[in-house]
Amino acid sequence: MGQFILRRLGVMLLTALCLTFIVFYLTNLYPNLEKLAKTQANNRMTDEEVVKWLDTRGYTQNVFVKYGEWLGVLPSKVTTTEQGTFTRCSRPTILPEEAPAFCGVLQGNFGFSTVFKDEVSSIIGTRLSLTGYLMLWVMLVMVPGALVVGVLAGMKEGSRTDRTLSTFSIITTATPEYVSGVIFIAVFASSAVGLRWFKGTATSAMDAATFENFFLPVITIALYGLGYIARMTRASMTEVMTAQYIRTARLKGVSFGNIVMKHALRNALIAPFTVIMLQFPWLLNGVVIVETIFNYKGFGWTLVEAAGNNDIELLLGVSVVSVFVVLLTQLISDIGYVYLNPRIRVS
């Protein structure tokens, strides 16, 4: 088991390095840098001025060197010109002369956001906690809901309950967040329909989340994932219900409720666990869409802002965090699967 986890961690680290390098390469392509120079300094710069601006700030180095600097394994380049000294470690509050030599991700330094004029790490920290709160409620609604729907549907395959609930799950998986969000706002929050039960924006939920301003974003994300997990649970449940030991229990005269609760449920919940874990990358998508629709300024909203405004350092920081969330959930799902399922032994 220990060796298995170590090997998985190794692969995970390699994947993380590759992914961050790809993101780094794509965000540091010359057209992006040119746009950055023009937005930061002067929109009417000539091509030579752009190159000079980028050169003094170390942007024109080899991409591997730049990546090493960003990662924090290479010292960042210090350029001294008549306009002053430049290094990627300096900030408005830290003079270039006093800046440390290494300032990369490994030192906990994610860079400086050009849009929000703040440390990337502190922006991500606050935004991530807001999104974490949203995700917590999504999970609290989605997981129990999906498991109940899935187990009820899978209990008796082909029954009326099964068909009704399966249709429900199909409908929710066919409704992406930007469709359900729009429909919910139009029905429950617009003056055109006039119900006005909930608020159409969740901006106020960032300070004080109430049922009125937080329910719609939560249910919008939860519904899309709910159908998928419910279908997986149903498939797993129907498989367990046809197993030999369930038939033995039935023939022994155990009541149906007892069979479901005591014999089938535990084995049926192994597969959904993996699915729920692997659902995180999808939820990340949902979070970006829903935070944009409901104007909830969390992690996903930051991603859109960073990408839309060419904020390279912030976009890199956001990517690192999301890639690590995805890889971590994959690891947990692998280990959890082995741990929960005694039939699988990793040696």
Partner 1 sequence: MEPLTWTGILSPLNYALLLATLVLAVGVVTQLITALFATDEPLVVNRDGTLAAQGGFRGLTNEIVRWSFLAIVGVIVAYIVGGVILGRDAGILGAVSQRFLPVWIALIVTFSLSMTFKRNLGLYGKLFDSPVGMIGFGLVMFWVFTAAFEGFFGIISTHEALEQLVRMKNEAPGSPVEGVDPDAGYYSHYLLGGDNLARDVFSRMVSGSVIVILIAPFATIFAFMVGITLGLPAGYYGGRLDTILSFFANLILAFPVILLFYLLVTPEIRQTGIPTYMAAVLFLFPIIFFGILIHSKFRTRPEINTPLLVGVLGVLSIVYLSTINQEGTPIDFLGFIDLFDIAGGILTVFVSVVFVNSPTVFRIVRGLALDIKTRDYVAAAQTRGEGPFYIMLWEILPNARGPLIVDFCLRIGYTTILLGTLGFFGLGLPPESPDWGATINEGRKLLSVYPHPAIVPAVALLSLVLGLNLLADGLREQSLKD
Query: Would residue 269 be called left, alpha or beta, if left means φ above 0 and alpha means ψ between -120 and 50 degrees?
Result: alpha
Nearer to partner 1, 151 or 240 (CB): 151
CB 292 within 8 A of CB 202: no
| 303 lies in the site for partner 1, by CB under 8 A | yes
User: What are the backbone angles phi and psi of residue 98, rounded to the nearest 5°?
Assistant: -95, -5
| 140 lies in the site for partner 1, by CB under 8 A | no
| 101 lies in the site for partner 1, by CB under 8 A | no
Among 95, 186, 195, 261, binds partner 1 (CB under 8 A): 186
CB 296 within 8 A of CB 247: no
* Part in contact with partner 1 (CB under 8 A); list of ranges 54-62, 66-74, 117-125, 310-318: 310-318
Residue 205 DSSP class: G
| 276 lies in the site for partner 1, by CB under 8 A | no
CA dihedral 208, 211, 214, 215 (to 10 degrees): 170
Nearer to partner 1, 103 or 271 (CB): 271
* Part in contact with partner 1 (CB under 8 A); list of ranges 99-107, 163-171, 213-221, 245-253: 163-171
Tokens of 333: 């799902």
- HEC secondary structure over 108-122: CCCCEECCCCEEHHH
Nearer to partner 1, 76 or 322 (CB): 322
Integer CA distances (angstroms), 324 to 46, 327, 342, in order: 39, 5, 28
Closest CA to 67 of 112, 114, 17, 32: 17
Give the x-and-dash track for 31-70 against partner 1 (CB under 8 A).
xx--x-----------------------------------
Q: Which residues bind partner 1 (CB under 8 A)?
A: 11, 15, 18-19, 23, 26-27, 29-32, 35, 152, 159-161, 164-167, 170-171, 173-176, 178-179, 182-183, 185-186, 189-193, 200, 256, 281, 284-285, 288-289, 292-293, 300, 303-304, 307, 310, 315, 318-319, 322-323, 326-327, 330
